[in-house]
């Protein structure tokens, strides 16, 4: 349990922010739209605050799409049945003490559920804002659902939202050595978390007043 708490509470949010930056670098149009929203709501005379989040719907859509394609723990934390039961609707039997893993990585990329499932497209969330990551919609479960969902879900979501917002608002980002964003290497390395196989290298140029850094 201690090992699970450490692995779930340290790397997950920072890995997700890195995936978000990688996706935004690979989709310049999305990055531009997000930065325009940040400039419109926050301006350039201060940094993004937690109270701004509710006024940034496109940031929320970007964050949802990052969580969909890159869930912090692709198999969630293992669950174990406390008594024998029958799984619905298929009717398969689960003996007592069966250890189970929920493959949210596959669920959130399922072509039976998602149109163009491998494409990073925040507009899908803008069109269906009611679909949330907090466990009420079973097609999007990066934190699990019910009484056994991630207890740090709220702070994890906020960390990713604030991380992406602060970075995108404060810096103009580019790839080194004139790399083509369309050819950005986003190969995955699977473990308890899913990492970028090739670490992301980014050039960050300040875009706000010096006193804000």
Could you state, in order of their start, the residue ranges of all structural domains in the chain?
Answer: 2-75+104-212
Residue 43 is predicted with a pLDDT of 96
Helix (H, G, I), strand (E, B) or coil at 135: coil
DSSP class of residue 102 equals -
Backbone phi and psi for residue 117, each to the nearest 5 degrees, phi listed first: -65, -25
- Angle between helix 28-42 and 57-69 (nearest 10): 140
20, 66 in Cβ contact below 8 A? yes
According to the per-residue pLDDT averaged within each range, which of 59-63, 70-74, 76-80 is highest?
59-63
Checking if the pLDDT of 3 tops 80, the result is: no
Q: What is the dihedral of CA 33, 56, 108, 13, to 10 degrees?
A: 100
Q: Which residues contact 43 (CB under 8 A, 6 or more apart)?
A: none
Q: Which of 118-122, 145-149, 195-199: highest mean pLDDT?
A: 118-122
Whether the Cβ atoms of residue 188 and residue 194 lie closer than 8 Å to each other = yes
Q: In residues, how long is the chain?
A: 213
Alpha carbon distance 195, 193 (integer Å) = 6
Domain 2-75+104-212 -> CATH class: mainly alpha
Across 98-120, average pLDDT: 94
Cβ 72 vs Cβ 142: under 8 Å: yes
β-pairing, 203-206 vs 85-87, is: unpaired
The Cβ of residue 107 has, within 10 Å, a number of other Cβ atoms equal to 19
| Total-model pTM | 0.90
Contact 203, 196 (CB under 8 A): no
């Amino acid at each position: 349990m201690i090992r699970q708490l450490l692995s779930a509470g340290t790397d997950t949010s920072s890995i997700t922010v890195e995936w978000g930056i990688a996706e935004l670098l690979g989709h310049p149009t999305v990055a531009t739209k997000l930065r325009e929203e940040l400039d419109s709501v926050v301006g350039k005379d201060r940094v993004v605050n937690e109270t701004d989040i509710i006024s940034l719907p496109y940031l929320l859509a970007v964050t949802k799409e990052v969580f969909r394609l890159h869930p912090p723990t692709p198999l969630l934390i293992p669950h174990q049945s406390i008594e024998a039961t029958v799984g619905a609707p298929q009717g398969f039997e689960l003996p007592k003490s069966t250890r189970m893993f929920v493959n949210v990585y596959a669920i959130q990329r399922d072509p039976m559920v998602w149109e163009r499932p491998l494409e990073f497209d925040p507009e899908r969330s803008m069109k269906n804002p009611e679909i949330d990551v907090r466990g009420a919609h079973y097609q999007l479960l990066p934190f699990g659902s019910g009484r056994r969902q991630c207890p740090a879900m709220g702070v994890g979501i906020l960390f990713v939202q604030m991380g992406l917002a602060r970075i995108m608002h404060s810096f103009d980002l580019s790839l080194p050595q004139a790399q083509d964003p369309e050819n950005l290497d986003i190969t995955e390395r699977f473990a308890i978390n899913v990492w970028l196989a090739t670490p992301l290298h980014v050039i960050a140029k300040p875009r706000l007043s010096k006193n804000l850094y």
